[in-house]
Amino acid sequence: MLKKIECFIQPFKLDAVKDALIDAGVEGISISEVQGFGRQRGYSEGEKPNKNVKFLPKIKLEIVVDEEILEMVTKQIVKLAATGKFGSGKIFVLPVEDAVRIRTKESGISAIT
Amino acid sequence: MPKEKKNVWEMTLERLDATMDALSIKPGMQKYLRQPRKTTEVSVPIKTDAGTIEIFKGYRVHHNTNRGPAKGGVRYHPDVTLDEIKALAMLMTWKCSLVGLPFGGAKGGVVADPTKLSANELEHITRRYTFEIIDMIGPEKDIPAPDVGTNAQVMAWILDTYSMDKGHAVPGVVTGKPISLGGSQGREDATSRGCVYCILSTLKVMGIDSTDMDVAVQGFGNVGGNAAKILHDLGFKIIAISDVSGCLYNKGGLDPFDIDAHLKKEKTLAGYKEAEILNREDIFSLKCDILLPAALENQITEANAASIKARIVAEGANAPTTPDADAILKENKIFVIPDVLANAGGVTVSYFEWVQGNLSYFWTKREVNLKLRDIMEKAFYETYKFSLENKVDMRQAASMLAVSRVAEATGLRGIYP
C-alpha cells in the first residue's frame, strides 16, 4: 500500500532530515518553501501574542512511500526535525490510491521504487 | 521413444512428494496432505429433450479445508475423471495458499460434453448435480466457480437451486456469477490482469523498466485475449497470437482489439490481413521477450522447449509446461512464472466476489483491480524472495511456500477429535 507523507519542518533541519530519509530507503522527495502557523499562532515562547497570527517560514516535504517503510520514515523525521521548541513542525500521513511513473507507465509500488 | 503417459493424479502426487521432501515435512503430515478430505461421486439423471433418460457421472472433491472453506471450479467435459478432479482440487489448495486467500481447495466435474447438449439439458444436469452435492457446498463450506465447459449461466443455476433449497437467496454459494446476481466487477479479465501484474513484477526484479518488449501469446480465449489487450495498452508489442487455427505474426506488432473484432466476425484467426500466417506450433520458436501460454495443458513439451527464445514464460494456462520441458527451460535460464502464481488472478477476484456477496456491499471495478494488484504483487514478491533465499526456481518456491502454509495450518488445527 502506498502512503503519502506531507510534513512541515524548520528550514534549518532540512539537510539532516533529507539525508536520513535517503538512508531509510526513500526514493523521492519534493520540497517547497511555505509559510504557516500552528497552535502558537506564530509566536515564540516569551513573545506576547496579540490578535494577529504570524506566518513563519517552513519547509514542506512531500514523500510517497511503501507502507512497509512508513513507520521508519516518520520516526526518522520526528527524531531529526525535533528542535525541542514550539514550531518544530507536523507530519501528516495520507493514503495514496495509485501512482504512475510517466516514462514507463509503471504503476503502484513499482512507480516509486 | 514415447513415454507412457502418466496419470495426472500420480503426476501431481509426485510433484507434491518432491516438495514435501524439500521442506522436510514429517511422514505423518505427508500422508495427510496427499489425501483429499472428501470425495463424492454422484449420478446425475436427466430427461433429455427427446424424452429419453440419460445418466451422467458427477464428482466433487474437497482436498484440504484447514485454511478456510473449499474453493474450486466445476467443469463439464467428456474426459473428466475422478483422478483429474482430485488433482485439480489439490492444486486449488496450493493456489489459494500461495496467494494468501482464506480458502482450501476443491474441484468438481460432470462427465458430459456441453457442446452436444441443449441449454435445457445443461440446466437439468446442473440443477440435479447441485442437488446431489448440496450438503457439501455453501458459502462457509465450498464455493464452486466456472471452469472448462461451464460459465456464468451455469453458476446462476447452481445459485438458484441452492437458494430454493435453503428458502432464501444465497449469492455467496458460487462465484463467477452474472453481475446482476451479485457477480464482481473485473472478474472477466481477472486472470489476465493477474498474469500481467506478475509479468510487470518480473521485469521489475530483472531491472527492466521499459515496456518495449516483444510478446507472443499462445491462445486467444478469455485469458490470452485479455492479456494481449492489457499488455498492448501498456505499450508492449504483441508480435504473435496463436489459436487452434494457426499463428498470426507481425514483427511490427499486432493489434489485439482488431484481431478480436476479426475473430468475432469470422470465428477464426485465418484470413486476418495485417499479419503473416504461420503454423500454430511456430509460436514457440519465434524470437520474443515474453511468451504467454494461455491455452491448454502440456503445450510446452520436450519437443519444443529447446526452441523457445523468450526470456520470460508466464503460464497463463494451467500446467502448460511438462516436467521434462520445465527442466529444459530451467537449463536455458528462462524465467518461468508458474501457473499457480501467474493465473491466480481469477481465484483472487472470486475471493473478492465471495467477500462482496457475504457483505452485500459491492466494489467498483477500479477498487477490484487495485486490490487485485496488491494481492498479486505480494504473492509474487513473497515467492521471488523465497526462491532467492532457498536457491530454487519460481515453480519450486511457489509450491514450497504454498505447501508449507497448508502444513502449518493443518498442524495447528490438529486432528479431530
- Asked if residue A49 has pLDDT above 90, the reply is no
Give the pLDDT confidence of B6-43 residue by residue, as tens digits: 688 998 999 999 999 999 999 999 999 999 999 999 99
Q: How far apart are CA B23 and CA B269, in angstroms?
A: 46
**Among B161-170, B213-222, B259-268, B382-391, the least confident range:** B259-268
Residue B86, C-alpha cell as written in the block: 482430485
Nearest CA in chain A to B233: A105
Mean pLDDT confidence for B341-370: 95
Better pLDDT: B244 or B394? B394
Residue A70, C-alpha cell as written in the block: 512508513
Instruction: List the one residue out of A44, A7, A110 whose CA is nearest residue B196.
Output: A110
Specify burial of residue B333 (Cβ count, 10 A radius: 0-12, 13-18, 19+): exposed
Nearest CA in chain A to B234: A105
pLDDT band of B2, cuts 50, 70, 90 = very low
**What is the pLDDT, as a whole number, of residue B5?**
62
**E-only strand ranges, B97-173:** 104-110, 142-146
Residue B153, C-alpha cell as written in the block: 449461466
The alpha carbon of residue B158 and the mean position of all alpha carbons in its chain are separated, in whole angstroms, by 20
Contact B370 A1 (CB under 8 A): no
Per-position DSSP letters for A9-26, written without gaps between them: E-GGGHHHHHHHHHHTT-
Q: At what angle do helices B345-359 and B190-206 cross, to 10 degrees?
A: 130
Cβ contacts of A102 on chain B, cutoff 8 Å? none
CA distance B223 to chain A (A): 22
Specify burial of residue B89 (Cβ count, 10 A radius: 0-12, 13-18, 19+): buried
Interchain contact A110–B (C-beta under 8 A): yes
Query: What distances in angstroms separate CA B183 from CA A86, B69, B169, B333, B362, one per listed residue?
Result: 54, 19, 14, 41, 9
Strand partners, B335: B312
- Asked if residue B281 has pLDDT above 50, the reply is yes
Interchain contact A106–B (C-beta under 8 A): yes
Q: Residues of B with catalytic annotation? A: 107
CA distance A29 to chain B (A): 21
Interchain contact A1–B (C-beta under 8 A): yes
Per-position DSSP letters for B166-207, written without gaps between them: HTS--GGG-SS--GGGTPPTT-TTHHHHHHHHHHHHHHHHHT
Contact B234 A105 (CB under 8 A): yes
Inter-chain CB pairs, A–B, below 8 Å: 24
Q: Which domains does chain B have, with CATH numbers?
A: 35-171 (3.40.50.10860), 190-342 (3.40.50.720)
**Among A42-46, A77-81, A86-90, B11-15, the least confident range:** A42-46
Contact B209 A98 (CB under 8 A): no
Give the pLDDT confidence of B202-246 residue by residue, as tens digits: 999 999 988 889 999 999 989 999 999 999 999 999 999 998 889
- Asked if residue B3 has pLDDT above 80, the reply is no
SS3 state at A94: strand
Cβ contacts of A106 on chain B, cutoff 8 Å? 200, 204, 209
Cβ contacts of A109 on chain B, cutoff 8 Å? 377
Contact A97 B373 (CB under 8 A): no
Instruction: List the one residue out of B255, B184, B183 whose CA is nearest residue B225.
Output: B255
How many other CB atoms are there within 10 angstroms of residue A68's CB atom?
11
CA distance B209 to chain A (A): 6
Instruction: List the one residue out of B47, B52, B96 whose CA is nearest residue B71.
Output: B96
Find the CATH number of the domain harbouring A104: 3.30.70.120
Contact B210 A108 (CB under 8 A): no
**Among A85-89, B157-161, B290-294, B350-354, the least confident range:** A85-89
ipTM of the complex: 0.72
Number of domains into which chain A is organized:
1
Mean pLDDT confidence for B67-91: 96
**What is the pLDDT, as a whole number, of residue B248?**
95
CA distance A111 to chain B (A): 10
H/E element, B86:
helix B82-99
- Cβ neighbours of residue A75 closer than 8 Å, sequence gap 6 or more: none
Question: What percentage of chain B carries pLDDT values higher than 70?
Answer: 99
Q: At what angle do helices B119-132 and B152-166 cross, to 10 degrees?
A: 50
Most A-contacting residue of B204, B364, B380 (CB-CB within 10 A), to test interface = B204
Contact A106 B370 (CB under 8 A): no
Q: How far apart are CA B309 and CA B294, in angstroms?
A: 17
Domain containing residue A11: 2-44+53-111
Interchain contact A104–B (C-beta under 8 A): yes
**What is the pLDDT, as a whole number, of residue B11?**
86
Q: How many helices (H) and strands (E) does chain B have?
A: 13, 12
**What is the pLDDT, as a whole number, of residue B1?**
40
Contact B377 A104 (CB under 8 A): no
- Asked if residue A108 has pLDDT above 60, the reply is yes
Q: How many helices (H) and strands (E) does chain A have?
A: 2, 4
Contact B377 A106 (CB under 8 A): no
**What is the pLDDT, as a whole number, of residue B4?**
55
Residue B108 half-sphere exposure, CB side, CA atoms within 13 Å?
30
Residue B275, C-alpha cell as written in the block: 499479419
Cβ contacts of A113 on chain B, cutoff 8 Å? 204
Strand partners, B38: B62
φ/ψ of residue B11, rounded to 5: -65, -40
Cβ contacts of B204 on chain A, cutoff 8 Å? 106, 110, 113
CA distance B197 to chain A (A): 10
